[in-house]
Amino acid sequence: MRRMTRQFVFALAAIFVACGALWAQKQFKLPRPFREYPGYEYNDFPVPDDFQEKHEWTRARLRYPSFRNVHGYFADGYNRWTVDYPRSDRHLLEGVRRLTRIDTKSVEQVVDLDGDDDVYNWPFMYAVEVGYWNLPDDQIAQLREYLLRGGFFMCDDFHGTIEWENFTRVMQKVFPDRPIVDLDNKDPIFHVIYDLDRRFQVPGMQYVVYPPHRLYEYDGFVARWEGIYDDKGRVMVAICHNMDLGDAWENSDDPRYPEKFASLAYRIAMNYFVYDLTH
């Protein structure tokens, strides 16, 4: 009986503390704490010891609803947002620490366009496999608001015409009046840290693992560096089409994956991150 009473008190206290934390989060609109989700490829990737340490910056990863199938045959389209996650993110953030003076966390932050303000706490957002994304109108509206307030969106790892069309279908709803344009070599985004005039297609792991070791996927033969500019001539959406930077970051510790691709992928990321923080 006595033991039951104690358990009851503990349970009550736990509920009280949880409610208090929830209230504080709502009241102050505190950023949501770090949380790891089941991944498309990884479910047991180790969380760094310092994952709870507070730092200035981290790259957010957008959790978006996706189509199951865009290529006309069966494909597991669900949870496309978790492709390469979290291995790619953790490797990349280590690179940020090593290569720049950005004070970054060791773990990514998964964000949602769910109408809550949380996403605005993370002004740099990345999405993978956006050829599969299927944003409803309310999320499209929030993505537009996010970008206009000063957020930056980078997307990667989508290939060929079909995925491009699905991506642009959504993006044109976000900004009906802003064209997607090729980023010029002279744009500061390619020079802010590294001069990246000579870029090349960065393949996914298929280049290493599966014959015939193609650089491209589907009909995405040529890497395209696209973007959407804001009214001040700044890139606010950076689109990496027909390349797989995510795989390059993810497999940068794999000796089979060519260093030159990983190296370019990191340099592109560093430039994009610092570009965002300077423009």
Partner 1 sequence: MFELFFKYPASVFSKGTFVFAGGWPVWLLVLAIAAAAVALAFFVRTNTRAAARIKGARSVAVWLLQTLLAAVLLLMLWHPALSVATLRPQQNIVAVVVDDSSSMAVDDAGSGSRKNAAVNLLKGGLVKQLQDKFQVRLYKLSDHLDRLEAYDKGGLDKLTAAGTATHIGDSLKQVLADAASLPIGAVVLLSDGADNSGGIDLETISEVRRQRIPVHTIGFGREKMAHDVELTGVETPARALPDSRLSATVAFHQHGYAGQKANILIKDGGKVLASREVTFKADGVEQTENILYNAGPAGVRAIDVSIDPRPGEENPRNNKIAKLVNVDQRTARVLYMEGEPRWEFKFLRRAVEDDKSIHLATILRTTQNKIYVQDDHADAPKSIKDGFPTRVEDLFEFDGLILGSVDAPYFTTTQQQMIKDFVDRRGGGLLFLGGRDALGDGGYKQSVLNDVLPVKLPDHKNTFVRDPANVELTAQGRDSLITRIEEDPQKNVERWKTLPYLMNFQDAGQPKPGAVVLADALPTSVGRLPLLTIENYGRGRTAVFATAGSWRWQMLQPVADRSHEIFYSQLLRWLVNDTPKRMTLSTPKQMLNDEASVKLRAEVRDKAYLPAADATVEAHIVGDGVTETVSMRPDALDAGVYTAEWMIPKAGSYVVEATAHRGTEDLGRDVMTFRRDDGVAENFHVEQNRELLEKLSQETGGKYYKPEDANKLGKDINYSEAGITVRETRDLWDMPVVFLLLLLLRSGEWLLRRKWGVI
Which residues contribute to the site for partner 1 (CB under 8 A)?
24, 28-30, 54-57, 99-103, 117, 120-121, 123, 145, 148-151, 192-193, 232, 273-274, 276-279
Smallest distance, partner 1 to C-beta of residue 112, A: 16
Smallest distance, partner 1 to C-beta of residue 195, A: 11
Smallest distance, partner 1 to C-beta of residue 188, A: 9
**Cα–Cα distances in angstroms (integers) from residue 256 to residues 68, 69, 205, in the given order:** 31, 30, 9
Smallest distance, partner 1 to C-beta of residue 233, A: 11
**Cα–Cα distances in angstroms (integers) from residue 1 to residues 4, 6, 7, 15, 94, in the given order:** 5, 9, 10, 21, 53
Task: Look at strands 152-158 and 109-112 and give their pairing.
Answer: unpaired
Q: CB-wise, 247 or 276, nearer to partner 1?
A: 276
Give the C-alpha separation, 31 to 52, whole Å: 13
Smallest distance, partner 1 to C-beta of residue 122, A: 9
Q: CB-wise, 162 or 277, nearer to partner 1?
A: 277
Q: CB-wise, 36 or 230, nearer to partner 1?
A: 230
Q: CB-wise, 102 or 170, nearer to partner 1?
A: 102
3-state secondary structure of 15: helix
- The residue type of 62 is L
Give the C-alpha separation, 39 to 4, whole Å: 39
Smallest distance, partner 1 to C-beta of residue 93, A: 14
Q: CB-wise, 162 or 193, nearer to partner 1?
A: 193
Smallest distance, partner 1 to C-beta of residue 158, A: 27
Q: What are the structure tokens assigned to 68, written together?
A: 């199951």
Q: CB-wise, 35 or 232, nearer to partner 1?
A: 232
The dihedral of CA 179, 59, 252, 190: what is its sign?
positive
Phi first, then psi, for residue 191 (nearest 5°) are: -140, -5
Give the C-alpha separation, 50 to 34, whole Å: 12
Burial of residue 251 (CB within 10 Å: 0-12, 13-18, 19+) is buried
Q: CB-wise, 105 or 241, nearer to partner 1?
A: 105
